[in-house]
A and B are shown apart, each in its own frame.
Chain A
Amino acid sequence: MSSVETKSVSPAAAAAATPSAPPSGFAEFWFYFSSNRGAVLGLGIFVIILLMAIFAPLLTAHDPIIQNRDVLLLPPVFAEGGRAEYLLGTDPVGRDILTRLMYGARFSLFVGLIVVTLSVVAGVLIGLVAGFFRGTTDTIIMRLMDIILAFPSLLLALVLVAVLGPGLVNAMIAIALVNLPHFVRLTRASVMTERNKDYVIGSQVAGAGTLRIMFVTILPNCLAPLIVQATLAFSAAILDAAALGFLGMGAQPPTPEWGTMLAEAREFIQRAWWVVTFPGLAILITVLAINLMGDGLRDALDPKLKRS
């Protein structure tokens, strides 16, 4: 969350430095972002999920792992036979579903954060090198990215996890690798447009070193599309990690990861609908909230859309 927030300020702040910019970069960004009601709603939901993940141990009296034979498959409180202490019911081994969902939010958000950080950092570096130096380096990098893109992403992630061994960390590495080409391509494309603009030539003439031109002069001006893509990658990573968990290749039981919870609940679909419904709903709401924010960020950061 905080990474998205701080990053999203910087390009707007950079825009504020240009002569035509309004008072404050953040104010301008917030003006456009908040005019999109869906985006604000998404941000709100996201903050709530984040708080639930952080304060999960304080919000619930139950344990996410310890089984309780006395309360097997209790329905949610609003259904017949539900109990107030188990708001969303219990699973086949008597664990509180709400508790597991709150702890599960930690895994999902963590996966999203790590995957996006890994693929953004690596992708931006590689893309910057490709777009800045061009030539053979560029050709080799882009062919390598084409190779990764040739595989269907979930299949590649599945096979990578088969090589590395099932588990959450390996799933994150696999998903980050699969996401990498998008950031490389995007960075390269923006760097190539910026590369020959007057301000870059100007600082080159003024004697700025290569690294300074790459990271200080060019990179900040390429951030807007990267931030939007990072938001999309964040939600896609949550979906992919859950999908791998569902296939039994991600987090392993009894980890309260949402996809893994769904996989465990599969055999109960005809008997206990709540065991299946709530973990999926948690994934959907989280991903939806992030995508809503992504749409708002795109509207706020994309100058082409802004002026029209």
Chain B
Amino acid sequence: MLRFIFGRLAVLIPTFVGVSIIAFSFIRLLPGDPVMLLSGERVMAPERHAQIMAELGLDRPMYVQYFDYLTGLLQGDFGRSIISKRPVIDDFMTLFPATMELAICAIILAICLGIPAGVVAAVKRGTWLDQTIMGTALVGYSMPIFWWGLLLIIFFSGTLGWTPVSGRISFLYFFPPVTGFMLIDSLLSGQKGAFSSAVSHMILPTIVLATIPLAVIARQTRSAMLEVLSEDYVRTARSKGMSPFRIIGVHALRNAMIPVITTIGLQIGVLLGGAILTESIFSWPGIGKWMVDSVFKRDYAVVQGGLMMITLVIMFVNLIVDLLYGWANPRIRR
């Protein structure tokens, strides 16, 4: 197992270096003068230009600049915003819990609905129930989620007036962030109605973000279950007179879960990508909206730092999924 862990880590190093090279070259590939871009000024005298160039270290050879950047990354320096001048990592740390809360709720919803739906579809293969579930899953899989979010807003927020349109909690409530997770913080604050306000803000974004992972998990669960259900040991269990519930729940599902867990792991990256759209629709103050806003404000230092941080998070999550997978399924450790 230890060898497996080190093997995984060794593969990550070249990827990390490559990702950092891309993030590093990003700002140098942008059309225009990097000095102008990074200082955020539009007109400047040649002396001032040279001064800033020296300050930012842009007058040194490219490889020295890169090693500087890499050293900075390893020390947690992801650059400073051009506009607010705050370190990118600080903003990231403030905003990331909002995205993580949304992503966790979405993946829980997707798993809780997707796996049972896939199991039912597999067990009732070929019936109208199977066709309905798989048809719905295919629609979900094909859904442009930015439109889906708008439709839900029109119906639930507009016509029915059940849920709020944007944000994480009503303006009526204010309390200092403890964990950064609004659902937990609102409970801790002890203010009446704060928790239900947080929940009602959470519902639509969660549904929107969960849609595609839900469809993917349902489809994957169904095909994994179908494969397992035709195995000999399932037939044996049946012929022993074991209850169908036990066969499906214990014998089949546990083995069918292996590919499903991989799929769920792969959805984490999809979720963080989907957060860009979901957060933009619901004005959710997370890293997805932050990235889009920064692109529009031409705050390229934030785009660079954010790209690096988000990718690191995904690499880390994928590593954890890989390790869990290796722990659960010794065959792939080799």
Contact = CB atoms under 8 A, between A and B. Distances in A.
Contacts of A269: 150, 153-154, 158
A158 B292 contact: yes
A270 interface: yes
Contacts of A38: 135, 138
B62 interface: no
A48 interface: no
Contacts of A246: 144, 146, 277
A277 B151 contact: yes
B188 interface: no
Interface stretch (B25-33, B68-76, B256-264, B322-330): B25-33
Contacts of B269: 152-153
Contacts of A25: none
A151 B311 contact: yes
A277 B149 CA distance: 11
A308 B230 CA distance: 10
Contact of B273 (A150, A152, A248, A277): A152
Interface string A136-173: 00000001101100111111101100110100000000
B291 interface: yes
B303 A159 contact: yes
B126 interface: no
A147 B292 contact: no
Given A151-B19, A288-B139, A280 B280 contact: no
Contacts of B148: 280
Contacts of A153: 269, 273
A155 B148 CA distance: 20
A264 interface: no
B307 A262 contact: no
A155 B147 contact: no
Interface residues of A, number: 44
Interface in B289-334: 291-292, 295-296, 300, 303, 307, 310-311, 314-315
Interface string B1-23: 00000000001001100110010
A150 B144 CA distance: 23
A247 B280 contact: yes
Interface in A256-308: 259, 262, 266, 269-270, 273, 276-277, 279-281, 283-284, 287-288, 291-292, 295, 308
Nearest to B146: A246
Interface in B245-276: 269-270, 272-274, 276
B303 A284 contact: no
A287 B138 CA distance: 10
A284 B310 contact: no
A139 to B, nearest CB: 9
A295 B138 contact: yes
Given A143-B18, A248-B296, A269-B154, A151 B307 contact: yes
A249 interface: yes
A147 B144 contact: no
A15 B127 CA distance: 33
Contacts of A165: 31
A243 B277 contact: yes
Interface string B86-99: 00000000000000
B142 interface: yes
A239 interface: yes
A152 B272 contact: yes
Interface centre among B148, B150, B277 (most CB of A within 10 A): B150
A242 interface: yes
Contacts of A279: 147
Contacts of B24: none
B112 interface: no
A249 B135 CA distance: 32
A165 B30 CA distance: 9
A29 to B, nearest CB: 22
Nearest to A283: B144
B181 interface: no
B50 interface: no
B291 A158 contact: yes
A243 B143 CA distance: 11
Given A143-B18, A262-B147, A287-B142, A159 B307 contact: yes
A284 B141 CA distance: 10
B90 to A, nearest CB: 20
Interface in B140-174: 141-144, 146-148, 150-151, 153-154, 158
Interface centre among A151, A152, A259 (most CB of B within 10 A): A152
A308 B229 CA distance: 13
A151 B139 CA distance: 26
A90 interface: no
A235 interface: yes
A291 B138 contact: yes
B295 A163 contact: no
A154 B154 CA distance: 25
B304 to A, nearest CB: 9
The 9 nearest A-B residue pairs measured at CB: A280-B147, A152-B273, A147-B18, A287-B142, A154-B273, A288-B142, A283-B144, A162-B295, A246-B146
